[in-house]
Amino acid sequence: MDEPSFSAEFQRKYQVLNKLGEGGMGMVFKAMHRSLMRTTAIKVVHASSFDDEKAIQNFIGEAQLCARLSHPNIVKVYEASTEGGNPYIAFEYVQGITLAERIRNTPNFPIKDALTVTVQVLDGLVVAHEQGIVHRDIKPENILIDHEGNAKIADFGIAKRSSAKTAKSKDWVLVGTPAYMSPEQAWGDEATERSDIYSAASVLYEMLAGQPPFTGNTMQLVSQKMNSEPKSIKELRPEVPLQLWDILNGALTRKPEDRYESAEDFANKLRKARSFLDKWMAEERGERPRSRVTTSAKLSTTSIRLPPTPPPPPPTPKELLRELAQKASHRQWWQENGALVASIVVAAGMLAGFALVVLRSLLR
């Protein structure tokens, strides 16, 4: 796509500052809204991406619908219109990097950070799904990480509403990205809220394992999604707790009805995993919890290690004097009466000897 020549009308509204990037559908520019003094990102989509004028108008209508979404984890859509025959979307400018860049720059993505990013993405999806909007193309390139580390879902203006009225029109359907799309999307069925759940789980899988659940060309990916189960993440990263893999695997099922009922349900499971992560990882390593207090969940009792009993206090001076006086009195009594006691003991011995002699003489 050649760089567009912006009309005078467009330039009265926006001052184009520089080009941010280019993709298969069009280009993204950084611009300043002149009257609002607001930095904005503008995506100009090439008209050749659509079959006819009606498809372009449908696209603009859906983008304007997405402008109603307001959530910290969603890139805000400001407006949608056409410029020089090409539709464009003006949306919030986020200073940061894409999740795809962060994954490339972080070979061993911290598990807690991966859970936090995914929970934030799911929180944004909850709001969209409540409005009946399905993103259809959740992938690392469409998740922005701002300078504070918060995740924001981008390209919501290219999403599609999940109502029966619009589902029949496939004039501008975005199939999605094969590595992250759900099996039903790969099969050609209409995407639903649970399709977004599958894609978000695929992104989490890549953060943890360094690769999506399935790899290969488009045909290979479609075949694998139809016929195979994802490889256990523990084979690719053994430190991931089994409990976390079980939660993640519950969002990667081939049948949509077997996945979590909602993005909120999946997010709550991951919040629980994040709170128990340290405990689970310690158990994986065979370590005991580092705690001086042990609790039994079954008995609901708690045992506490108490300090040893302290020694008795030393005697007071008054008590010490009383004890010495008692000992001195005891010694004085023996000094005064010891001779008498000895005489009595000797006399008793002599008397016993005399009695023994008399008894023997009588028995002869």
| CATH number of the domain within which 24 lies | 3.30.200.20
Least confident of 80-84, 275-279, 305-309: 305-309
Q: Taking the model in full, what pTM does it have?
A: 0.74
Q: Is 221 helix (H, G, I), strand (E, B) or coil?
A: helix
Domain membership of residue 114 (yes or no) is yes
Is 355's pLDDT higher than 80? Answer: no
Predicted local confidence at residue 302, as pLDDT: 47
272 or 326, higher pLDDT: 272
One domain for residues 145 and 135: yes
Predicted local confidence at residue 299, as pLDDT: 38
Quick one: pLDDT band at residue 175, thresholds 50, 70, 90? low
Predicted local confidence at residue 157, as pLDDT: 61
Is 352's pLDDT higher than 70? Answer: no
pLDDT in tens, 182-231: 999 998 898 999 999 999 999 999 999 999 999 999 999 999 999 999 99
At which of 71, 93, 115 does a domain end? 93
One domain for residues 165 and 88: no
Supply the mean pLDDT for the chain. 83
Least confident of 10-19, 72-81, 91-100, 349-358: 349-358
Is 277's pLDDT higher than 70? Answer: yes
Spatial distance between the Cα atoms of 111 and 120, rounded to a whole number of angstroms:
14
Domain membership of residue 325 (yes or no) is no
One domain for residues 221 and 142: yes
- Can you name the residues that pair with 41 across neighbouring β-strands? 30, 91
Domain membership of residue 15 (yes or no) is yes
User: In the chain, how many domains are there?
Assistant: 2
Catalytic (active-site) positions: 137
One domain for residues 239 and 177: yes
One domain for residues 38 and 53: yes
- Can you name the residues that pair with 31 across neighbouring β-strands? 16, 40
DSSP state of 74: B
pLDDT in tens, 29-45: 999 999 999 999 999 98
Provide the percentage of residues in the chain whose pLDDT is more than 90.
58
Domain membership of residue 294 (yes or no) is no
The answer to whether 117 and 283 have CB atoms below 8 angstroms apart is no
Count of other CB atoms within 10 angstroms of residue 33 = 16
Is 291's pLDDT higher than 90? Answer: no
Only one residue has tokens 């609901």, namely 300
Spatial distance between the Cα atoms of 47 and 157, rounded to a whole number of angstroms:
16
Sequence-distant (≥ 6) Cβ neighbours of residue 144 within 8 angstroms: 75, 94, 96, 97, 98, 99, 151, 152, 153, 154
Q: What is the DSSP string of 280-317?
A: HHHHHTTPPP--SEEEETTTTEEEEPPPPPPPPPPPPH
What is the arithmetic mean of pLDDT over 61-90?
90
Predicted local confidence at residue 24, as pLDDT: 73
| CATH number of the domain within which 173 lies | 1.10.510.10
At which of 245, 279, 313 does a domain end? 279
pLDDT in tens, 96-122: 999 999 999 998 999 999 999 999 999
One domain for residues 28 and 112: no
Provide the percentage of residues in the chain whose pLDDT is more than 70.
73
Q: Is 212 helix (H, G, I), strand (E, B) or coil?
A: coil
Least confident of 17-31, 46-60, 274-288: 46-60
pLDDT in tens, 118-167: 999 999 999 999 999 999 999 999 999 999 999 999 988 665 554 433 33
One domain for residues 109 and 83: no
Predicted local confidence at residue 29, as pLDDT: 96
DSSP state of 214: S
One domain for residues 89 and 163: no
Domain membership of residue 334 (yes or no) is no
Spatial distance between the Cα atoms of 38 and 20, rounded to a whole number of angstroms:
17
Domain limits for position 111 = 95-279
Domain membership of residue 134 (yes or no) is yes
At which of 93, 111, 143 does a domain end? 93
Least confident of 4-13, 146-155, 293-302, 309-318: 293-302
Domain membership of residue 330 (yes or no) is no
